[in-house]
A and B are shown apart, each in its own frame.
Chain A
Amino acid sequence: MAVTAKTLNETEFFYGHKACAGCGGSLAVRIALKVLGENAIAVLPAGCMSAVGFNFPQLCFGNNAIISTFAGTASMLTGVQAGLKAQGITDFQAVGFAGDGGTADIGIQALSGAIDRNDDILYICYDNEAYMNTGIQKSSLTPFGAKTTTTPAGKNIHGNIRPKKNMFEIVAAHGIPYAATASVGYLNDFMKKVEKAKSIKGTKYIHILAPCPTGWGIKTDETVEIAKEVVDCGLWYLAEYENGNFTLNHKPNEFSDIEKYLKKQARFKHLTDGDIEIIRKSRDEKWEYINKNFK
């Protein structure tokens, strides 16, 4: 039976932590662990979720959890999985929760290695689009135009000059058994994907967009709303990759206003009409590709 908000496990596995109010990443971790249950063994690299959840003696995971090195989420997951398997233990799910920097930058090599070996692990990237834990520096998943502390918006350069790295399709190109995108704005979709991933053997990857009020410059009660809007305006999408095929799970009939989405956030306040036009054009090109290649 598909898990829904009604059937979701009432036990909390990630609580009492020090995440900022409105943290999208902690919501993703909390919900995923409720779906996976008490036999989830979580590996979290250096980053927001480990920084807020593992401060001895206040340890915030009710299930097994361990911090890995920044680059080592996937390789530690591999070790956890292999170590238990070698001892004849099979009733568990090794799950990684790494941020955008820990996934698309410093952790991509280990992730690629794990997918290549088809290790039986679930890797969840909570993407808040910059190095938030260290104070909002650009990562390769920071979108075009975003102001961060290392891509300041000035007269000469308007924030980040490069588009967001396409992790979903990079992961899919490995021929991974299952990959999906998600958003904390569409939690039912995310829960279903975590549940599905749990049932699949081999490497699974879920990339969930998880807004960060502190880094994005939004109100703390706007996280879920903005995470919906980013999907509705077409700058993010909900999709799956399985058996060599891409599937689109949610197709907006009409895109909501891209400018409205952007201008709500302090990180995009400086964008000119020209900048927004570049973003709109890139969105349209992406959707042309999606419509052509995704089922």
Chain B
Amino acid sequence: MAKQFLSGDEAFAYGIRLARPHVISAYPITPQTIVVEKLSEFVEDGSLKSEFIHVESEHSALSCAIGASSVGARAFTATSSQGLLYMAECLPYAAGGRFPIVMMNANRSTALPWNIYGDQRDSLSQLDSGWIQAYAENAQEALDLALLGYYIAENKAVSTPFMANLDGFVLTHTYEVVDVPSQEQADEFLPLFETENKMSLEKPKNLAFSAGPDTNSIFKYKEHIGILNAKSVIAEAEGKFEAIFGRKYTGLTENYQTEDADYILITLGSISGLVREIVDKLRKNGEKVGLLKIRYMRPFPNEEIAQAVKNAKAVAVLEKDISFGNEGAVYTNVNSALQKAEINIPSSNYIGGLGGKNISPQEIEDIFAEIKSGISDIKFLGIGGV
């Protein structure tokens, strides 16, 4: 293991190098570019032996990765925002074909208006595409998700593509000290990709076929079971990860000071760091507040959320997303988890950070103050209620 000073994008590229994919299909988009630049440098200097394909679009990036995966190759691509939307057709295609591709998405706002900065509207718009969705909080977690991603995606019971999300600029372009594992450690952790779901010269197959009304639901059901199976595989992967690398992850969610908390803020991604600081500050003043960080949006942590908030007096969801005409997508999902667990407490939604707008410490404090009122509300941070 060696400590290096890396941006989130770079850290992810280091993680991918350790995972040794056979094929990398790359198309540039801000703020993802550094990942594919770094990987091309690794291929050039010989430290990574991957087929590096300069595709001509994001649609082709994922289509190419699907082709590679369909012959049993480990494939990687990365994208962001408009690029994710441009390749959107290929997302359920990869998932439905059960091709365990890993893709990094640099979370970025979606046009219009044009904006290159971070929010999570891009990936959250693709929640239903059948991909596992993880959200990193820092560069270290980004690197680790590259390795964990393949481990989880390629598990036979899962066989589901994996999207690792990094907040644009805040994570992708911000430098931190990152532990870069050795190749030996990575190889010990991550087994070679082996699958029966492939075309091979020994056993020819017809893949990605049509399934009519009689059989279609069975395939969709199995796809759903596959992504649900990721829950236990994530736990297994993180256990092995800790044993080898010494870093502990906590599954679909991470709880911070939630055990006795009356008021819990639920969020995801890099903003969690700031919320944790505010929780510490308010705790010093005797306020029983906590943070629930969602690490995986799919599979969704229904039970984990219910368990963490069951004794709270109110919760709020802070997210960099809005599903126009309704509310934030994370909020909808969280409320569903609460309802299923028969937890009837006030639940508010704060839409913030759109197009990279800064979320200030004071705004987080204000959220904790407001939800004490016991009223459920949906608000755009800094603008007002809707």
Taking Cβ atoms with an 8 Å cutoff, the residues of A that contact B are: 38-39, 41, 43, 50-51, 53-57, 59-69, 71-72, 74-87, 89, 91-92, 109-110, 112-113, 116-117, 119
Contacts and interface: CB of A to CB of B under 8 A. Distances in A.
A66 B51 contact: no
Contact of B90 (A43, A55, A59, A69): A69
19 contacts: A56-B215, A59-B209, A64-B201, A67-B209, A68-B208, A76-B70, A78-B55, A79-B25, A79-B68, A79-B71, A80-B68, A82-B23, A82-B64, A83-B22, A83-B70, A83-B71, A85-B51, A86-B50, A87-B73
B71 A80 contact: yes
A72 B90 contact: yes
Interface in B54-99: 54-57, 59-61, 63-73, 75, 89-90, 93
A89 B73 CA distance: 11
Interface in B163-220: 199-201, 204-212, 215
A79 B70 contact: yes
Interface of B: 22-23, 25, 49-51, 53-57, 59-61, 63-73, 75, 89-90, 93, 199-201, 204-212, 215
Contacts of B25: 75, 78-79
Given A83-B23, A83-B75, A116-B56, A63 B204 contact: yes
A207 to B, nearest CB: 21
Contacts of A43: 67
B138 to A, nearest CB: 31
A53 B22 CA distance: 30
Contact of A62 (B57, B69, B70, B204): B204
A72 B71 contact: no
Contacts of B71: 41, 79-80, 83-84, 87, 89
Nearest to B25: A79
A77 B68 CA distance: 9
B63 A75 contact: yes
A283 B201 CA distance: 45
A109 B63 contact: no
Nearest to B101: A79
A110 B57 CA distance: 8
Nearest to B59: A71
A83 to B, nearest CB: 3
Contacts of B63: 68-69, 71-72, 75-76, 79, 110
A11 to B, nearest CB: 12
B93 A110 contact: no
A72 B55 CA distance: 11
A134 B50 CA distance: 39
Contacts of B199: 41, 64-66, 80
Contact of A86 (B22, B55, B70): B22
